[in-house]
């Protein structure tokens, strides 16, 4: 199933970030995690892409998911 790049913008204290990462791990999917609390350049990039300051922001390929929206994630991954 790993045919698409997944990037998660997170912070250490975000419970929905943890849920998203746990979900991807349960599916056996690899992802790149970016801690925006420690990387201001990535935080700025996330904001420019989405207009969002909150996390998680998840990139699946060229698509953006704001928050842990499991239904949208499943749709983008082709999971029914």
CATH, range 6-74: 3.40.30.10
Domain ranges in the chain are 6-74
Note the pLDDT of residue 54.
93
Phi and psi at residue 33, in whole multiples of 5°? -105, 130
**What is the average pLDDT across 53-75?**
96
Note the pLDDT of residue 43.
95
Note the pLDDT of residue 4.
86
For residue 73, whether the previous peptide bond is cis, meaning omega lies within 30 degrees of 0, is no
Alpha-carbon distance 49 to 5, whole Å? 16
CA-to-CA dists, residue 62 to 20, 38, 45, 76, angstroms: 18, 24, 14, 10
Q: Is pLDDT of 2 > 70?
A: no
pLDDT in tens, 17-60: 999 999 999 999 999 999 999 999 999 999 999 999 999 999 99
């Amino acid at each position: 199933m790993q045919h698409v790049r997944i990037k998660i913008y997170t912070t250490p204290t975000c419970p929905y970030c943890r849920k998203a990462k746990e979900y991807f791990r349960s599916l056996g999917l690899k992802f790149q995690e970016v801690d925006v609390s420690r990387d201001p350049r990535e935080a700025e990039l996330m904001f420019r892409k989405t207009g969002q300051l909150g996390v998680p922001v998840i990139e699946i390929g060229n698509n953006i998911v704001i928050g842990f929206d499991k239904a949208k994630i499943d749709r983008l991954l082709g999971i029914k």
